[in-house]
Amino acid sequence: MRGTEPGELLKIVVALLEHQVLPVVETQSGRATLLLSIGMLDNLAERVEERRDLVERERALVDALMSALPERVRELALVNPSGSTDRPAPTAELISVFRVLAPKSTVLDDEDTDAWLRQCQEALKERTRREVALLNPTRYLRSQNT
């Protein structure tokens, strides 16, 4: 098992439970309980791998948006220039930029700011789409809901 990714390990466990343990459980309550457990593990297996990818994608998204920050907004938000090692967590930095812009800043009227905000909108919309797709039920929860 050494070197096996956590998600793969969970899928191995799910397969073992499903094909080797479940067939020998005789009582209906026992089967129902075991199916519920298999469903939770199956759901978790999908999320462990996707969640790691999502975190990496979010970091890349925020870095790209912060790199594209218009100079006037960067000055307003007192954001460190790209490449500086003394930076807060990327998402927190992006949030702080939005909070500087929010209370009717005149910078909102700039064309550069408008273009950057549209870029943010598309990037965050795509991020949200991936998040919702990730959180949709996996096969066991779907079958239990039908």
Partner 1 sequence: MSLADNVDGRRLTAVGAVAALPSTLPLAARERIQRLMIYVNREVGGPATFLGQAPGASHEGWVFRVGDAPGSKLVVRLEPDEGPFLDYDGEREATLLRRLADHGFPVPRVMAVGERDVVGSRFMVLEWIEGEVLNPFAASDMAPTERRNRAEVMASMLARLHTAPWRTLAGTAFTADPGDPPEVVDDGLDAILEQFGRALAQLRVVNSVVLDFVRVWLERHAPERTVQQSIVHGDFRLGNLVWRGDEIVGILDWETAKVGDPLFDVAWMCMGATKGSDSIMGLVTRDEFLNMYAEASGREIDAADLVFWQVVAAWVRGCTEARLLDISVMSHAPPARDARDLSWEFGSARTEEELFQLIDSYERSR
Minimal distance, residue 142 CB to partner 1, in Å: 14
Sites of contact with partner 1 (CB under 8 A): 40, 43-44, 47, 62, 91, 94-95, 98-99, 101-104, 108, 114, 117, 120-121, 124-125, 127-129, 131-132, 135
Residue of 59, 63, 58 whose CA lies nearest to 127:
58
Looking at beta carbons only, is 31 or 99 nearer to partner 1?
99
Q: Which long-range contacts (CB under 8 A, 24 or more apart) does 99-104 make?
A: 100/73, 100/76, 101/73, 101/76, 101/77
Dist CA 130 CA 106 (whole Å)? 33
Closer residue to partner 1, CB minimum distance, 20 or 134: 134
Distance of closest approach, residue 125 Cβ to partner 1, in angstroms: 4
Secondary structure letter of residue 65 according to DSSP: H
Helices then strands, counting H and E runs in the chain, come out as 6, 0
Q: How far is the CB of 97 from partner 1 (least distance, A)?
A: 9
CB of residue 23 vs partner 1: minimum separation in angstroms?
Answer: 25
Closer Cβ to partner 1, 68 or 117, answer by number = 117
Six-digit token string for 112: 């550069």
